[in-house]
């Protein structure tokens, strides 16, 4: 359940193995439609569009 629109997600980079914590802001996402998070190694770990599809399934 979203209270303030923020959700913390943990993602392990499939390239370098670093575990990274991201703040997912749903309201910001609605404005931008798509957010990408990059690892320090430069690899894009996640495109949030995909996550939102999963979240809406849970409702």
User: Between 6 and 16, whose beta carbon lies closer to Zn ion?
Assistant: 16
Angle (CA) 35-45-49 rounded to 5° is 35
Q: How far is the CB of 28 from Zn ion (least distance, A)?
A: 23
Q: Which is nearer to Zn ion, 16 or 30 (CB)?
A: 16
Beta carbon of residue 31, minimum distance to Zn ion (angstroms, whole number): 27
State the DSSP code for 46: E
**54: Cβ contacts below 8 Å, ≥ 6 apart:** none
Binding site for Zn ion (CB under 5 A): 13, 15-16, 18, 39, 41, 43
């Amino acid at each position: 359940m979203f209270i303030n629109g923020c959700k913390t997600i943990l993602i392990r980079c499939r390239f370098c193995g670093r575990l990274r914590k991201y703040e997912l802001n749903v309201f910001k996402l609605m404005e931008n439609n798509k957010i990408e998070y990059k690892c320090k190694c430069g690899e894009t770990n996640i495109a949030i569009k995909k996550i939102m599809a999963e979240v809406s399934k849970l409702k």
